[in-house]
Amino acid sequence: MAITHAWCKQPVRRRREWSGKGRWVGVSVAERFVRSACRLGPVPQVAEIRLHLADDVLGLWQRAEDEFGADQPPPFWAFAWPGGQALARYVLDHAGLVAGRRVLDLGSGSGLVAIAAARAGAAAVTASEVDPLAVAAIGLNARANGVPALTVTGDVLDGDGTYDDVVLAGDVWYSRPLAERVLAFLDRAAARGASVLAGDIGRAFLPRDRFRVLDARDVTVMAGLEDSSVKRTMVWEPIIEAPR
């Protein structure tokens, strides 16, 4: 059974997170949960990066709900999704895209793409993420890969990423409402001159007529995440129309 994104709009607090059971949970509690639920290991397409990864989608989701409440989003942070893998690989192989520049990673999840940008020489990296457990995973994964502490922020999709030179978006086209917000954000970012790249297998809500393919590769994913264990995955760039 494949799970789908439900990247919803909710606040992210730096020190404490709402558990869903009427109590605040310290970041250290979230980090302990991530450590206990996952194993640190390499990413198939990006073997030089290690993440805290799980091997049971539904089991981990149930465990998170038992621990923190029944309103927990799916644990996207515990898996290496194909779009993120392809985008991270592309960034590492084309480090000049981010070197010395400020980078924003939308829907960061595990922090894979943000970590790749940091390792490729980005001057600063911000990870946008709304799930408290993902925020904990991003911190743990960054430290595991020896990169400086990443800045983590919440929902940024109503803006244009004003302070960022590069916007990276892996696996964010799972639902129409989210896709519409993401596309509007990317349009605004590109219009002000930011470099924009997306990683995705070409899901239904990605507007293919608005993007061109920069790179394509077969990506291995864990059983249960997608409908097959290998997915053809692309790195996409927006088509910018010349002013008339």
What pLDDT is attached to residue 224? 72
Closest CA to 152 of 139, 166, 165, 167: 139
Which residues pair with residue 168 across a beta bridge? 105, 197
User: Can you list the positions of beta strands (E) in 90-225?
Assistant: 102-106, 124-128, 151-153, 166-170, 195-200, 211-220
Closest CA to 153 of 212, 162, 144: 162
Q: Give the residue carrying structure tokens 């980005």.
A: 122
Q: What are the pLDDT tens digits along the chain (244 aa)?
A: 233 333 232 332 333 443 344 343 456 889 999 999 999 999 999 999 999 999 988 899 999 999 888 888 889 999 999 999 999 999 999 999 999 999 999 999 999 999 999 999 999 999 999 999 999 999 999 999 999 878 999 999 999 999 999 999 999 998 999 999 999 999 999 999 999 999 999 999 999 999 999 999 999 988 777 888 899 999 999 997 655 5
What pLDDT is attached to residue 27? 60
In sequence order, the 6+-apart residues with CB closer than 8 A to the CB of 29 are none
What domains sit in the chain, N to C, each tagged with a CATH number?
16-238 (3.40.50.150)
Report how far residue 99's alpha carbon sits from residue 190's, in angstroms, rounded to the nearest whole number: 18
CB 134 within 8 A of CB 159: no
Report how far residue 42's alpha carbon sits from residue 20's, in angstroms, rounded to the nearest whole number: 32
Overall pTM surpassing 0.95 (yes/no):
no
What pLDDT is attached to residue 218? 97
CB 80 within 8 A of CB 231: no
Query: What does the block give as tokens for 104?
Result: 């924003």
